[in-house]
Chains A and B, each alone.
Chain A
Amino acid sequence: MAEPVLEVRGLTKHFPVRQGFMARPARVRAVDGIDFAIHAGETLGLIGESGCGKTTTSKLILLQEPPTAGSIAFEGRDIAGFKGPELMDYRRAVQVVFQDPFSSLSPRMRVEDIIAEPLEIHTELSKGAIRARVHDVLELVGLPPDVARLFPHEFSGGQRQRVAIARALATDTRLIVLDEPVSALDVSVRAQIINQLEHLQRTLGVSYLFIGHDLATVAHISDRIAVMYLGKIVEMADSDTLCKQPLHPYTKALFAAALPSHPDDPKQERTIAGEVPSALALPAGCRFHTRCPMAMPVCSEVEPPLQTRDGGQRVACHLY
C-alpha cells in the first residue's frame, strides 16, 4: 500500500495541572499513546465522548500544541522538525474546519477575503487569479460565486460551514481535519454538508480526519473508524465491519445509545452507567472497567493492548 498521508505513532499529550498550593503537580492524560494512519483519499473517523482527547489529537496534528511524546509523520516526514519552507508547505497542505461556523469566520471580512487568505499567504497569484480561484472553490461547495462580496452574518449556519470548507480547499489541500463540522447544524443541513464533503473527496482526492461524537454521521462518511475512550483508541476497524460487528463493550454501548433508524424498532437496553472517570486519576488496568458491563477481575489489573484480529479489526479488550 502507498505511503499514508498522515501517520500517527504513540502520540501522547499530557497537560500538567496544579490542584492546590501544596499538591503534587498532576497530569491530565488527554491523549495517551495512539496510533493511526490516514491514506490518500480516505476518511478516518475519530469518535468518542467529550473529553476523550479527540480535539487534543486534532490540535497536535495542526501544530497548535506540541506533543508530550510520539510522532506525527506527514507524507513520511516528521512534522515536529518542520521549519521555514517545510512548515509552510505543511500549513498549505493541511487545513481544518471547526465546529462553530459563527466563530470560525471573521465577522469583519468579506467571504472572498476569508477564502483568499490561505492563497495570499502561500501563493504569488495576482488579485485576478485569486478571485478566480475563490469563485471556483465557492462553486465546488455549492455556493454561487456572487456571494463572494457578502459578509459572514449574511449567511445561514450551513452556508457558513460551506464557506469554511471552501477556504479549507482553496490551496492544494491534501488533508482536512474536520473537527465536528456538522455538530452545530440541524439535521437536514447536516446531510447536505456530509454529501458535499463526500462529493468533494471523490472529485479532489483529499483525505479527511473526521472527528465527531455522533455515531451515525461518522459511520456514514468514514472509511475507517477509530473509537477513543479516555485518551486511548479502544477499537479501530473498517466502517462497515465496525457497524456490523462491534467488539469492544464501549463501542457496543455507543451503538446501543444511538437511536434506532425506525421508531418502531426495539431500542437496545444496554446503556452504560456512570460518568467518564477523571483523566487526572485514570482507573488501573482497562480504563473502561469501571463502567463496563462485562468487566472481569483481570480488567482492573492489566491494561489490554490493542490487538489485531482476523479481517484487520483492532480491539483493546480482554474478552478477545
Chain B
Amino acid sequence: MSTIATRPVVAPRTASGRLARFVKAAREAPLVAIVLLGGLVFMAIFAELIAPYDPTVPVPGATMFDPPFWMEGGRTTMILGSDFQGRDVLSRLIYGARVSLIVGLMGTLVAGGIGTALGILAGYVGGWVDQIIMRITDAWLALPAIVFAIFLAAMIGPSMWNIIIILGAVYWTRYARVIRGEVLSLRERDFVKLAEIAGASRFRVIKRHILPNVMNTATVLASLTVGVVIIAEASLSFLGVGVPPPQPAWGLMLAEARPTLMAGQWWLTVFPGVCILLIVLATQLFGDWLRVRLDPQQRNL
C-alpha cells in the first residue's frame, strides 16, 4: 500500500505553539468583563469571609439610615452605611451577589435545558411534533415575560429555587426557536445522513451529531440570557414575588429603599442599582466575546 499512501500535513503541537496560542487568546479576552465577573463570583463564593456583618440582622450599635462613611454622620465600620433596620448595606450587597449569580446561572441552565431539548426534538423529528412544539413556543412568546413570571410566582410562592424554575419556564422559548433552526440545517448535512444510512438510531444521531453541533449556539445564547434572567430576578424581588425577605437580594434591597428614596437616603438605592448594572454589563460583554469566539465565521484562524 505504500505507492498511494498519503499523510496529512499538520502543524506540530509544540509547547511554544500552545503558549503562543494562550497569549493570543489572553490578549483578545474581554478584560473588563472578566474582572467584573471574577470579582462578583469571588464575592458570592466567599461572602462569609468577606462580609463584615451578618446581612440579615441589624448591626449591634448601629442606628437606622447611617450614611456611607465619607458623609457626615457616617462611620468607617460601616463604609456603605446602614438600611432601615440598621443592617450593613455592604454585607447585604455581598450576599446579594450570591442570589443574583445563582439565580442567573441556574435559571439560564433550566431555560437552556428545556429550550434546547424542545428545539432539537422539533427540528429533528419534524412533522406534527415540530408543529405542536413551535405553536406552544409562539403562544409562550406572546405572553409578556414578567407578567407571566409574576403569575407563576404568585401561584407557587416565593423562594429562590422557585424563582429559578419560574424564570427557566419563562425564558426557554428563544433557545427552542434558534436551536430548531440550527437543527433543521444540520439535519440536511451529509454527516447526519451518513449516520442514518449506517443505521444509527434517532437517539444516537441526536447525541453524537446534533447536540455537539448546537452546543456553541446554546452556550452563546446562555451567556446572553444570564443578564436577562438576573434583571428578571431583581424585578420579581422588587415587586415582592421574588426572593423573600430577610434574604439579601439586590432587587429586594431596591424595593425596601423605595419609600425613603426621596428622603435623602440615596445610598440604599444607588448601590444595589449599580451592582445590578455591573453584573448585567459584565455578562453581556462576556457573552458578546463568546459569540465572536465560538462563531467560526467571525473567528480568524
Task: Tell me, yes or no, whether A binds B.
Answer: yes
Cα A118 to Cα B195 in complex, Å, equals 8
Residues of B within 8 A of A100 (CB): 190
The residue from B10, B194, B198 contacting A154, defined by CB atoms under 8 A apart: B10
| With A156-B8, A192-B4: A91-B190 Cβ-Cβ less than 8 Å | no
| With A98-B190, A106-B209: A121-B198 Cβ-Cβ less than 8 Å | yes
Q: Which of A20-28, A138-146, A215-223 lies at the binding interface?
A: A138-146
Residues of B within 8 A of A256 (CB): none
Q: Is B202 an interface residue (CB 8 A)?
A: no
Contacts A/B (CB < 8 Å), 6 sampled:
A91-B199, A104-B190, A106-B212, A108-B213, A121-B199, A159-B8
Residues of A within 8 A of B208 (CB): 106, 109, 117
Task: List B residues at the A interface (Cβ < 8 Å).
Answer: 1, 4-8, 10, 189-191, 193-200, 204, 208-209, 212-213
Cα A150 to Cα B10 in complex, Å, equals 9
Q: Chain A's nearest CB lies how many Å from the CB of B223?
A: 20
Q: Quick check: A95 and B197 within 8 Å, CB to CB?
A: yes
Residues of B within 8 A of A140 (CB): 1
The count of residues in chain A whose C-beta lies closer than 8 Å to any C-beta of chain B is 42
Other than the known A95-B197, A104-B194, what 10 A-B pairs have Cβ atoms closer than 8 Å? A96-B194, A98-B190, A103-B190, A104-B190, A106-B212, A108-B212, A118-B198, A121-B200, A150-B8, A199-B4
Residues of A within 8 A of B204 (CB): 121
The residue from B10, B190, B195, B212 contacting A117, defined by CB atoms under 8 A apart: B195
Q: Quick check: B5 and A103 within 8 Å, CB to CB?
A: no
Q: Is A232 an interface residue (CB 8 A)?
A: no
Q: Quick check: B1 and A104 within 8 Å, CB to CB?
A: no
Q: Quick check: A139 and B1 within 8 Å, CB to CB?
A: yes
| With A95-B197, A108-B212, A121-B198: A103-B4 Cβ-Cβ less than 8 Å | no
Q: Which residues of chain A from 104 to 134 have a CB within 8 Å of any chain B CB?
A: 104-109, 114, 117-118, 121-122
| With A109-B208, A143-B6, A158-B6: A88-B193 Cβ-Cβ less than 8 Å | no
Q: Chain B's nearest CB lies how many Å from the CB of A110?
A: 12
| With A62-B197, A91-B199, A104-B194: A162-B213 Cβ-Cβ less than 8 Å | no
